[in-house]
Each structure stands twice: as structure tokens, then as C-alpha cells.
Structure 1
Amino acid sequence: MTSWPADWLVPAWPAPHRVRACVTTRDGGVSQAPFEAFNLGDHVGDDPQAVAANRQRLQDTLGRAPAWLKQVHSTVVVRAEAGACPEADASWADELGVACAVLTADCLPVLFCDREGSQVAAAHAGWRGLAGGILEETVTAMAVEPGRLMAWLGPAIGPGAFEVGGEVRDAFVASHPAALQAFTPSHNDGRYMADLYCLARIRLAACGVAAVYGGGFCTYREPRFYSYRRAPSTGRFASLIWLE
């Protein structure tokens, strides 16, 4: 594994030593505007050769193959497998050689591991997947007592920038009344500012995952990250986790 760009993120959480994770940024790639520079999404209109070069650079840097997914805002969780690219929004792994990976540009990436360092997972949680139960399904797929899991909330759109309609608030509150605290009225009638980090913590706590770290980013306001709401023609960054 070679060194990665200095502004890539390394989660600050008490994960076991053999659990490794990182989040890429726009830095370090070959994509041209408006995808500059390290776009890893192959579905956003970028030059396929540039995406392939960026993905190869990432694989070379990690020293292992990312297990890419075709993300569709579902609640499907699969075992991570390099080269497969199944339609799913989360993957898990308990073997070396592959990195669980999700692509985002405002949605919430959530990384998981168990306290023994024997299993990891990555989930893509847009509001639809979050409301539908993608985090709960990921916990179930890992087949570990939830109290033995920890989660890290990666870069997502912040509560000061994520305006949604009342139907979004209703979707969360219907199953978790505590979710009401994650919504504050917008200056636009019938609209709310939503806190994805708060919603994720509520959902994780409800299924028994108490050790939750991270949060506090805003992809919309931090230009080192891609943001679909800031610029609809944009790339995707990756959140990855693996075992060494």
C-alpha cells in the first residue's frame, strides 16, 4: 500500500488495529471539469477512461480491490466481492483482500466493524435508504451482537444545507417518533432542514448499536468533497473499510 493524498480522511474511532478505513476526496485524480479530479463514480457522465484510471490508482494505493456496488437507494446488503458490482447499497466482509466501498456526494456513508476486528461493512444511506432500513439490514447481515459493533458516520450533507419536504419527515417519524428532533422548520413553508447524522444515530441506537462515531461534516459546504446539491454535474468520492 502506498501513501494516499494528505486530505483523505482516516476515521477517528477506536476500531481494532486490523480494521483500516479511509475516505477519498477530490484530490489525486485525472478527471477533468466538472468532475475534477478524483471522481470514482462511473455513472455520472465522466470520461470512462478517467474513472478507470482513478479507480486503478485507488486500488494501487490500498493494495486491494474495492468491492463496488450499483447503488440504487435500496436496503439490499451483500457480501463484498471484487469485480462483481451487484445492485445493492451495503456490503460486508470477513476476509482479507477486498475493501467494502460506497460512493456518495451528499448521502451518508456509514462504516461498521466489530470489536474483535473480524468483520467490517460499509453502507450507503441516502434518506430513502436510511428511512427504509439500510443500516438495520447491514447490522443484521453482519450477524454480530449489535452491542459488539461500532459505526462511523462519514461525510454527508449537513443539517444546515439539507432541505426536505414534509413527506421525508413523516417517513422517519412514523417508525421512530424520536426522529422529530432531527428536523427543524425551513424558512420555506412546509419544508424542513434535516439532520442525517442525528437520524442515523437514532436508527442505530434503536437496533442496539450504541458506539457511534464521526459526523459533523458537510459535503455541501466543504469543497474538497463532491456534492450533488452544490453541483448536480459532479463526481463521487468513496468511503472504504477493510481488514488487514
Structure 2
Amino acid sequence: MSRNRLSLLLAVLAMAVVAVGGFFLAVQPQLAQTAAAHTQTASVEQTNDTSRSELARLREQAADLPAMKRELSTRATSVPDSARLSAFIDELNATAAAAGMQVSSFTASDATAYSPAVAAEPAAAGQGGATPSASPSATAGAAPSAPQAPSLVTDAAVTGQNFSVIPVTVAVDGSFDQALQFVKGVQSGDRLFLITTVSSAERSGDDGAASSSSSWTFGGSIYVLDRSPDAAADTAAAASTKG
């Protein structure tokens, strides 16, 4: 091989080495940085899209915030975070006065921890022995089936750690129509009062004769929901233990 050809070959080889080295030392880092920049840009765009969606959701909630605050205030009054028996008695007195009655007695028992209701197990098919087939005439005259009880609804956020029940009994004196008006007022009042028992006793007049007024006794429950952070933590711990 001549000297000129060898020099040319070495020059071409050197150029190739320089080109490859330039690619790895200059071009490749730039390409890597460009790819990283594209990836970062896509991630930022995705984050921005998520932020825009969250911002739109928060704006919608902010528009509903006044109504939500009013509803919260109503519910907090209906089921307060303490017994507040004095306020409840004042409400009973006002309701009775509006119905033309007066509260003759009021008693409240100690609060008890809430125990979630448990749905009854459905009866097994055929339990209790075989039932004879009804004749066509008997079927035609059979009484309609009993209405189905509403489905049981519970909330894991309401437990014995933060929810309590206070049994109360209130007695009022008045006529039947006045008692109906009193019950309607109590059921639509600020404080939730679930009436479970009703009894009445006819009152006698001053001369011993029967009068149109009766003594009405209503028994039921009012409720207290502890909204403190400690109660919420106890409820969460109880839920995790059950899980």
C-alpha cells in the first residue's frame, strides 16, 4: 500500500472516530436532555390538567358552600354535639304554648351509647313445616301480603364512640286536637325527637266530672353526635379494628 493511501485511510478513520466521539460527547446528551424535557413537559401538562379539573370542582363546591353551611347548621341543631336539655325543654314549652297546652312534666334518662341495628336473617324456605296448598276459593279471598319493612341503612361514621341516645319523656295537658298539633310541632322542630310511645289519661274537672282535657305522655329519644377530633379518631380506630 502506498504512503498516500495509508495517510488517506488514517485520515478517514480519524474523521470517523471524531464523528462518533462527537455524537456521544455532544449530540447524545442533547438528545437525552430533549427527551427528558419532553417527558417533564408531558408530566407538567398532566398535572396542570388535574389541577384545572380540581379547581373547577372546587369552584362548583364554593358556589354551593352557603347552602351547605345552612344545611350543616340545621343538622347540627337537630343532632347537637352535647345534650343541651335546657334548649330542648324551651323548645317543648314553646311548641306546647303554640298548641294551647302546657308541659306538665319532663324527664330524661342517662345517655347510652348507640348500638347499630342488625338486619334480621330471612327465614329459611320451608321453615316451620310444610304449608298446605290453598284452595282457589281461599286464595281469592286471602288477605293482601304484609308490607315490606324498609331496608336497613347504617353509616360506618356513626358508632357507639361518637353517637349517643338520650331517652326522654314529656307530658302535656290538653285536648286530642291540641295533642296532635303538639306532636306535629315537635316532629317539625329544630331538635330531632323520635317519639316511640304515646299514652293518655283523661283528666277530671274541679267538680269530679270528666273533662275534654287529657294528660298526654310521649316517650322517645333525642340524640347527640360528638364531632370532636378525638371522637373521630376513636371511630376510625374502631372501624380499622373491625376491618
Pairwise TM-score range, normalised by the shorter structure? under 0.3
Structure number, greater radius of gyration: 2
TM-score by length of 1: 0.23
